Amino acid sequence: MAEEVIYANGDVVLIATKDDRTIRFRVNSGVLSCASTVFRAMLAGPFSEVQQLTSNGSVEVTVPDDPTILGLLLRCMHFKADILPEDMDSKAILQLAIVGDKYDCQRPLALLASDWAQSVLEKSTRLNAICPNGRSEMLTSAYLMRNKALFKVASAKLVELDEISQTTAGEHCAFLPDYVIFHLERSRNRLLNTYRRYFFEAVNFKCRQGGSHRDIDWLRRYLREHFTWMEAWTVARMKQCRNTFLCDERTTASCFVKCKECDHFQLPQEFVDHKALEEVEQDHGLCLDCCVAQTGDASRCKGDCVRWKT
């Protein structure tokens, strides 16, 4: 049976087994008790483990956890950053967050696992390499680890890139309350409806004298060619279309050239600066405090909500 010494001369040995693979982890009871309320109760309450620890000065405890994931958690708890992996995928991070939630030791994880999760999200943004299920795994991990910044970023990406119903797929959905799914859908619908209104206003814009506005005409043709845009496009696709509509090559000239028939610019300023759209685009990630407390509108919170009790 393999043994990993995480804390030299540790007084607790945790034994984890999965698929005929067993590892003994030598750790420190004081560190476990400080980092985890569950281990504190196990090692300080009226249990046989406490009596054995008091009598013999050490104790062995068998736990029903994956040795690989438990080892990561114990290294985080003992701040053994030098023997932790530099990168992890979204599934492994979620498994770690679930075990951390089980033992109620989110704070040590917040210092290390959140960096891994942030790295996954940054890579996915650059390479477009993370699947929808991976994004929802990141959201669930952030929720379980109580990482507000990561939760806001992960929820914003889900709102932009995916159908929110995909978030509920997979076994990890049990760790997210319905409140989170509801407000993800609410934020997404708010953005989509604002984009739809924007495009409707643009394509229905009419020159007072019947003149032609080149950029408006381009948008009409583009949306006509992609006739399923109202039902099928994600928020990210809507944003891409608007950015193309307002791209520098088109607006640099258009913003300063007036229609020959009226006093409007070829690209009316109201479509360049759209206050309603800018407002919803600015911040559409969810507030973790609101989601944990399950109060208020998590998609519109400005940071003045009631926080959860620690």
Asked if residue 193 and residue 160 are part of one domain, the reply reads: no
Contacting residues for 78 by C-beta, under 8 A, at least 6 apart: 6, 7, 27, 28, 31
Q: Is 218 contained in some domain? A: yes
State the Cα–Cα distance between residues 259 and 99, nearest whole angstrom: 64
DSSP alpha helix (H) spans, the chain:
29-35, 37-44, 48-56, 67-77, 90-102, 106-127, 132-145, 148-161, 178-203, 214-225, 229-232, 235-245, 248-254, 269-272, 275-282, 288-293
Count of domains for the chain: 3
Q: Are strands 21-27 and 12-18 parallel, antiparallel or unpaired?
A: antiparallel
State the Cα–Cα distance between residues 25 and 10, nearest whole angstrom: 9
Q: Is 290 contained in some domain? A: no
Would you give per-residue pLDDT tens digits along the chain (310 residues)? Answer: 788 999 998 889 999 998 888 999 999 999 999 999 999 888 876 666 666 665 666 788 889 999 999 998 998 888 887 767 777 788 888 898 999 999 998 877 776 766 776 676 666 555 444 566 677 888 898 899 888 888 888 888 888 876 666 565 555 667 888 889 889 988 899 899 999 999 998 888 876 655 667 778 888 999 999 999 998 898 989 988 988 888 744 444 444 455 555 555 556 667 777 777 777 777 678 999 999 888 888 888 877 776 654 4
State the Cα–Cα distance between residues 164 and 62, nearest whole angstrom: 39
Asked if residue 221 and residue 243 are part of one domain, the reply reads: yes
Q: Is 139 contained in some domain? A: yes
Q: Is 261 contained in some domain? A: yes
State the Cα–Cα distance between residues 44 and 40, nearest whole angstrom: 6
Asked if residue 159 and residue 213 are part of one domain, the reply reads: no
Report the pLDDT value the prediction gives residue 284, as an integer from 0 to 100: 78
Report the pLDDT value the prediction gives residue 7, as an integer from 0 to 100: 92
Q: Are strands 59-63 and 21-27 parallel, antiparallel or unpaired?
A: unpaired
Report the pLDDT value the prediction gives residue 100, as an integer from 0 to 100: 92
Residue 248's domain spans which residues? 188-282
Size of the chain, expressed as the number of residues it contains: 310
Q: Is 300 contained in some domain? A: no
Q: Which of 146, 175, 204 is the last residue of a domain?
A: 175
